[in-house]
Structure 1
Amino acid sequence: MPKPPDTPQKARGPTLDQLQVFAAVADAGSFSLAAQRLERAQSAVSYTVANLEALLGLTLFERTRRRPVLTEAGRAILADARRVDTTMHDLQARAAGLTLGLEAEVSLAVDVMFPIDPLVGILEDFARVFPTVTLRLRMEPLGGVLKLVVERECELGISGPLGSWPDAIAPNLLGAISLISVAAPGHPLARRDGRIPTHELREHTQLVLTDRSRLAEGPMHGVYANHSWRIGDLGAKHRLLLAGLGWGGMPRHLVAADLAAGRLVRIRPADRHAFAYSLYLIARADTHPRPAARWLAERITALAPFDWPAPEAADADAPS
């Protein structure tokens, strides 16, 4: 009876201990010094590295010199060994955090109108304080933030104003930003002096930021024009304004450099100076944030009260 073929054996990979001992020798430049740092016998360290070389089929150190020197292959494997070691430490830290009740992930939705500088500062601090927690960030216009929080896709949101909040939402007023009307210098409205009457504004295409979520639908405050372009992206609206394809409202902090450089000109509707666009920290009322989400909420709340910059004679909340 013919002998059945041998079942192929799955190749065994190096152990984390082997990689750590190899890295320790490379760092110390000596088997004996690495053994001291690892509190092991030198023979055990040499044996571990020799086994790793046999397993990989590579010579990692040149041993013809007084001190072991990494070969070209050894330098390449050392980079991989450090990466594996870092990944394992991250895994252990994440597991320890979860054991202590620290969540694996926090999700935050932010209104596109929110100033980026304070947000960047908070996110940098979050990454430093919670290195094992994944932060998922979404930037949305108008009711998009509310939709994500209502539907539990995001735990926290920094949302713009809404006529009335759903019962499921707990809003906390942070402050307001100033929205002003602007146009490119070549636009007919930019060449008008003083206050511009409403009937004249209606004659020119207005660029309006729209709500893709449909949660904030209703009367469009601040929309004058008989012809308007509805745009769901604030960056696209900004580019169209710079191109002179219409006029519209923008957060003053986002167009300050354009105004200073003359790329945009402020225009002044006769019935208002600026809009105060309120911003709120929102979460579902039926949730209890875990440590990282609670820290993030507290840092965002600590920004209040703010004005970026202070609205001048602001009339009402309006996203146009």
Structure 2
Amino acid sequence: MKLGEPTLDQLRMFIAVADHGSFGGAAKASGRAVSAVSYAIAQLEAALALTLFDREGSRRPVLTAAGEGLLAEARRVADGADALLAKARSLHAGQEPSLTLVIDVMVPGDVTAHVLGEFRRFFPTCALTLRIEGLGAVAACVIGGDADLAIGGPVIGDDPALERQAVGEIDLIPVAAPSHPLARAGVLPGESRGHLQLVLTDRSPLTEGREFSVLSPLTWRLGDLGAKHSLLKEGLGWGNMPRAMVAGDLASGALVELDLPEKPGAHYRLSALWRRDMRLGPAASWLVDAFRDGLAACRDALR
């Protein structure tokens, strides 16, 4: 038996009748005449050589077993068509079909999660690829063409290949476990150099060999901020951490903020970075504004 090919309109009418429970309800919802809905269903049933609704007597149409089996497939086809049309409209409006975003590991996770959740709601047709990197590796992704947009720190400086727009800053503070020798009051100048410092290492060749707030010659260099956090809580060293990331530990006493004479903490300024030969589209521009708002709200909450 050779089957016909259903049209998208016929599938939509099939879904509408199933959802509204009647030909009249489907007609009203779709702005069509009842006769047009009935004709579309009849044509679909002819194309598939199947009865989709039981219409005996004056009862409301009831899905047959065949209709039940095909309804989910019809929804998938209609949803796929809707997604295609939505993406086409977005392209006509100038929205990016896809976007690769790289975020500095220092950006508070709650801020990133909230922004990206809202992004998926506002830009459902933009395929987002996310990377989390540290220090110079953030800018390196953009310069190398591996990312369209970055939210990164100040370690790269004013690279001529990059456009930069400030979006906020976070506080980096020196912390250690309460049992650490540097956690006591009255630490002398230079005393921190005698204790192991846990340092986030830079895996980017752009800033290879550069030191950032490193006081001690005794260092463990880590490529993961979460690992550094865990080692600090175990009392294995001291180091700078984003205040937002350790706020709960400071409140519970798992970590303490160190009062060191050298004051190694810093304001870690964050910027949106993109290549100067590129223009930001609507989705990327929205991300820049959303991270600025999110970082400001986070900073206000910690005051």
For normalisation by structure 2, the TM-score amounts to 0.84
CA gap 1:223/1:18 in 2 versus in 1, 3 angstroms: same
Q: Which residue of the partner structure matches residue 187 of structure 2?
A: 195
- CA–CA separation in structure 2 for the residues paired with 1:50 and 1:116: 52
- CA–CA separation in structure 1 for the residues paired with 2:228 and 2:267: 19
- CA–CA separation in structure 1 for the residues paired with 2:26 and 2:2: 32
1:181 partner amino acid: P
1:254 aligns with 2:245: yes
Q: Which residue of the partner structure matches residue 22 of structure 2?
A: 30
Q: Deviations over 1:225-272 (max 9, x none)?
A: 333211111112112222233221100111010111122122222211
Query: Which runs of no fewer than 5 residues in structure 1 stay unpaired?
Result: 1-8, 313-320
1:26 partner amino acid: A
Report the 3-state secondary structure (helix = DSSP H, G, I; strand = E; otherwise coil) of the residue aligned with 1:269.
coil
Q: Which residue of the partner structure matches residue 45 of structure 1?
A: 40
Q: How many residues align?
A: 299
* Bigger shift: residues 231-240 or 301-310: 301-310
Deviation of the 1:187 alpha carbon:
3.4
- CA–CA separation in structure 2 for the residues paired with 1:171 and 1:109: 14
- CA–CA separation in structure 2 for the residues paired with 1:29 and 1:158: 50
- State which of 83, 103, 110 in structure 2 corresponds to 1:110: 103
- CA–CA separation in structure 1 for the residues paired with 2:159 and 2:104: 18
1:61 aligns with 2:53: yes
- State which of 267, 284, 288 in structure 2 corresponds to 1:276: 267
CA gap 1:196/1:278 in 2 versus in 1, 3 angstroms: farther
1:174, 1:303 within 8 Å by CA — same for their partners in 2? no
Deviation of the 1:20 alpha carbon:
1.4
2:195, 2:237 within 8 Å by CA — same for their partners in 1? yes
1:267 aligns with 2:262: no
Give % identity: 45
1:172 partner amino acid: Q
2:164, 2:272 within 8 Å by CA — same for their partners in 1? yes
1:232 aligns with 2:223: yes
1:178, 1:309 within 8 Å by CA — same for their partners in 2? no
2:213, 2:264 within 8 Å by CA — same for their partners in 1? no
- CA–CA separation in structure 2 for the residues paired with 1:307 and 1:277: 14
CA gap 1:120/1:42 in 2 versus in 1, 3 angstroms: closer
Q: Deviations over 1:125-168 (max 9, x none)?
A: 43333332222222111011100111122222111112632211
1:169, 1:284 within 8 Å by CA — same for their partners in 2? yes
- CA–CA separation in structure 1 for the residues paired with 2:8 and 2:18: 15
1:174 aligns with 2:153: no
CA RMSD of aligned residues (A): 3.1
Report the 3-state secondary structure (helix = DSSP H, G, I; strand = E; otherwise coil) of the residue aligned with 1:259.
helix
Q: Which residue of the partner structure matches residue 3 of structure 1?
A: none
2:244, 2:302 within 8 Å by CA — same for their partners in 1? no
Report the 3-state secondary structure (helix = DSSP H, G, I; strand = E; otherwise coil) of the residue aligned with 2:72.
helix
For 1:47-126, list aligned pairs within 5 A: 47-51=42-46, 54=49, 60-64=52-56, 66-71=59-64, 74-126=67-119
CA gap 1:43/1:23 in 2 versus in 1, 3 angstroms: closer
CA gap 1:222/1:34 in 2 versus in 1, 3 angstroms: closer
For 1:199-238, list aligned pairs within 5 A: 199=191, 201-238=192-229
Q: Deviations over 1:15-62 (max 9, x none)?
A: 4333212111112212354355433435413413423652xx6x5434
Query: Which runs of no fewer than 5 residues in structure 2 stay unpaired?
Result: none
1:220 partner amino acid: E
CA gap 1:262/1:41 in 2 versus in 1, 3 angstroms: same
- CA–CA separation in structure 1 for the residues paired with 2:128 and 2:26: 38
For normalisation by structure 1, the TM-score amounts to 0.80
1:195, 1:270 within 8 Å by CA — same for their partners in 2? yes
- CA–CA separation in structure 1 for the residues paired with 2:47 and 2:232: 63
Q: Which residue of the partner structure matches residue 152 of structure 2?
A: 159
- CA–CA separation in structure 2 for the residues paired with 1:183 and 1:237: 11
- CA–CA separation in structure 1 for the residues paired with 2:44 and 2:24: 13
1:158, 1:282 within 8 Å by CA — same for their partners in 2? yes
2:3, 2:47 within 8 Å by CA — same for their partners in 1? no
- CA–CA separation in structure 2 for the residues paired with 1:80 and 1:195: 70
